[in-house]
Amino acid sequence: MAESLNHILISTERMMTYEEGLPRRPWFKHQIYAPRFYTGDGVKTLPGTREGIEQRAWEVAEKYVDIVAAALNRVASAIDRAAKWCAKKRRTVARRACGGR
């Protein structure tokens, strides 16, 4: 069965998570955004990397650069699959519009 566009796009959000979570917040799995550590308000982007840099915890920052890069590569692959899915659908619709099957 072919993967649906909705399934591909929904899965991209899950691809941006890391099972071990963030440093000092293992319950928060998302690697692209998170509430600020000290205040809990607002949003901090790339929290594992950013907080590692801010705290001069270079090993943590380096670890999360790799984790985020892997997540973004997974998302990019999913977007490529979605684009191929859309292109295939367009060709199918165009053939049918011209009387083909």
Instruction: Summarize pLDDT for 37-70 with one digit per residue, the tens.
Output: 777 778 889 999 999 999 999 999 999 999 999 9
pLDDT at residue 8 tops 70: yes
Which CATH number describes the domain made up of 5-96? 1.20.930.40
pLDDT at residue 3 tops 80: no
pLDDT at residue 1 tops 50: no
DSSP 36: -
Q: Is 17 helix (H, G, I), strand (E, B) or coil?
A: strand
Run of H or E including 9? helix 5-15
Mean pLDDT on 6-22: 94
Distances (CA, A) of 45 to 14, 17, 55, 98, 101: 16, 13, 15, 48, 47
Domain ranges of the chain: 5-96
Contacts with 86 (C-beta within 8 Å, 6 or more apart), sequence order: 5
